Amino acid sequence: MPPQLKAEVNVMPKVVQGDLQSLPPEARDFIESNAKLCQPESIHICDGSEEENKKILDIMVEQGMIKKLSKYENCWLALTDPRDVARIESKTVIITQEQRDTIPIPKTGTSQLGRWMSEEDFEKAFNTRFPGCMQGRTMYVIPFSMGPIGSPLSKIGIELTDSPYVVASMRIMARMGTAALKALSNGEFVKCLHSVGCPLPLKEPLINNWPCNPELTLIAHLPDRREIISFGSGYGGNSLLGKKCFALRIASRIAKEEGWLAEHMLILGITNPEGEKKYFAAAFPSACGKTNLAMMNPSLPGWKIECVGDDIAWMKFDEQGNLRAINPENGFFGVAPGTSVKTNPNAIKTIFKNTIFTNVAETSDGGVYWEGIDEALPTGVTLTSWKNKDWTPDNGEPCAHPNSRFCTPASQCPIMDPAWESPEGVPIEGIIFGGRRPAGVPLVYEAFNWQHGVFIGAAMRSEATAAAEHKGKIIMHDPFAMRPFFGYNFGKYLAHWLNMAHRPAAKLPRIFHVNWFRKDSQGKFLWPGYGENSRVLEWMFNRIEGKASAKPTAIGYIPADTALNLKGLEDVNLTELFDISKEFWEKEVEEIKQYFEVQVNADLPYEIEREMLALEMRIKQL
C-alpha cells in the first residue's frame, strides 16, 4: 500500500466474520496494514451468501440508507447526498512516476485525456485522508472476480470498504465472496481500498443518511502497483471499484502489458433467420443507447439478438486468431431515466426483482418512477422525488436524478446469451463505434481497413451527457468512448490497438461507425432507432459474410442503394441519412486534426496521422 502514517492505535480490530489467518499472506497483509491505518471497529470478510446479503440490507435499512420497495420482490431504494451523484472526473487521477506515462503532454492547456497526479502529491493526499477514516465502522473485505470464476481471461480483486451499500452492489456487479477467494489462492490480485470518509462519531449530520465527504473526494489509481484508492464518495462509479476503476483504468494498463484489450464496449450476439450467429462489440459514450442496443428486440422477422454484456469487454486473441471477449461484470449498472417498455423492454423485464435503485423517484404504492418511463401513474398514486420531497410535474425539475441508476443481476435478463459466462469468451467479428451526432454523420459506414477503423475510434465525437459533471449539450471528443477511462497515455493506447494487426494469424474484426441520432432541418430524428437498428446490424452481418453490397465514400463504405433492408419502414429519407456534406466534413476534419495536434501531440502514432491526411484529401475531392 502507499506510504502510511503510524496509526495511533496499532491494535487489530476484531474479525466478526471469516478467518484472516486462512487467507493467502499477501491478502492478509493488505487487510491488516489497512485495518491498522483506517482503524475500523471490526472486520467482516464477505462470503457472498444469501444470508450475508440479507444482513447487509437489514443494516442499511436500520441506518436509513435504503428502504424496501414493497411493490417488487427484493428491491431497494437508496437516495444519496445530492453532492454525491456521479463520477467526478476532476477528482479521478492516475499516479505514475512520469506524467507522460498517464497522459500525452498537450501542446497547450490541460489534458482532456485523463488526470495525472505526482507520487508526492498523492502521498500527501493519502495521509490527510485515510488514517482513522473508518473509526466506528465495519471494514468489509470483498474478494471478487471480474469475469467468470476460473476463466483464463478473468482477474481477481479485493476491495476493502466501510460502506454496506458497496457490499450489496458489488455482490450484484461482480462474482463476489468465497468462490473468488478460492480462485485467488496465492495468485495476484488488484488491491482496492475505499472509504466514505465519515468516521464515527460524525462531525456533522448526514444528508439522506448517506455518508460521503465531497470536499475530500479522491479516486486514485496506481497502475504500477495494481492499486485503486477511493475516498469520500459512495456513488457507484467511484465506490464499486471493480467497475470503471478496475475493469477499464487498471485493466487497460494490464491489457497493454499482456497483449489484450480492456474496452468500454457492450457485447451482443446476433443470429440470422438461417441460424448463423455473429458477435459484435460496440463502444458508445453515455446517453447513446448502449444498454438499449445490448438488449434490443429486433424488428426484423427471424432475427435474434442476445446480450453478453452492456458496458465492458475484455478481449484477447486466441491461438486460432479469433478475438475472444468476456463481459467482466455480473450485473447491469444502468441509467434509469429513458428506460421504458418502448426503449428497452428487456431491461424492464430484468430490473423489478433483486435490484438496488439509486436516486430514482418513489411512488406512494412502493414502486419506482423516472423521466421517460412512459407509464401513467395510477389515479391517487403520488410521487416522492430523488430529493425526498413531494413531487408534481409543476416542480420544474426532474423527479429522478438524470444519472439515477438500477443495479441488477445480469442473469435476470431474458435475452442473456447462452455463452455469456463462457470461460473462453465469445468470438468478436465486428466492432462498432458510435456517437450522438445530430448533424453530418451518416447512419452507418464501414472502415476501409483496421488502421482506418482505429482512426475512426480515435476520432469519435458525441453530444455530452449527464453521467459525469459536464453540463449542457456540446459535441465532445470521446475517443473509443474511453476518454474518462484510459489507464495510460492515449497515444500509446492507439499504438497498442494498431499493433493488433501484427498479431500472427489474427482474424481482425470489421470496424463500423453508427449514428442513430441524425436530425432533419426541423429537428426530427431521421431514423426510428431502437428495434429498427437491427436493420443496420443485418447489413453489417452480411458485410462480414461477404453478402451485402457497399459503395466507397470519402469517409468509408456505406450501404449500396438497396443494401439496407427497409421492408415495412415508411418515410425514411436515405438521401438525407447518408448525405456526406463537404462543408460539414471539412469542419469535422479540422476539429479532429486540432484535437490530435493539441491533445495527443507528440504521442500521436504516424499511422493515425496518415489516416488523418488521407481523409482530408478525400474530403477535398468531394
Residues assigned a catalytic role:
288
Q: Is the dihedral of CA 63, 69, 74, 79 positive or negative?
A: negative
Which of 264, 350, 343 lies closest to 296, judged by CA?
343
All 3 cell numbers of residue 417? 446469451
Residue matched to cell numbers 496499532: 10
Amino acid letter at 28? R
Q: For residues 490 and 104, is the Cβ–Cβ distance under 8 A?
A: yes
Amino acid letter at 519? K
CA distance 191 to 33: 12
Spell out the SS3 assignment of 72-107: CECCEEECCCCCCCCCCHHHEEEECCCHHHHCCCCC
For 325-335, letters b (16+ CB in 10 Å) and e give: bbbbbbbbbbb
Spell out the SS3 assignment of 558-596: EECCCCCCCCCCCCCCHHHHCCCCHHHHHHHHHHHHHHH
274, exposed or middle or buried, with CB in 10 Å at 0-12, 13-18, 19+? exposed
Q: For residues 551 and 562, is the Cβ–Cβ distance under 8 A?
A: no
For 478-513, letters b (16+ CB in 10 Å) and e give: bbbbbbbbbbbbbbbbbbbbbebeeeeeeebbbbbb
Q: For residues 127 and 158, is the Cβ–Cβ distance under 8 A?
A: no
CA distance 569 to 249: 42
Amino acid letter at 176? M
All 3 cell numbers of residue 511? 470496424
All 3 cell numbers of residue 614? 488521407
Q: For residues 121 and 250, is the Cβ–Cβ distance under 8 A?
A: no
Helix (H, G, I), strand (E, B) or coil at 393: helix
CA distance 304 to 291: 16
367, exposed or middle or buried, with CB in 10 Å at 0-12, 13-18, 19+? buried
Helix (H, G, I), strand (E, B) or coil at 125: helix
CA distance 307 to 327: 10
DSSP designation for 224: G
Spell out the SS3 assignment of 433-493: EECCCCCCCCCEEECCCHHHHHHHHHCCEEECCCCCCCCCCCEEECHHHCCCCCCCCHHHH
β-strand pairing of 92-95 with 218-222: parallel
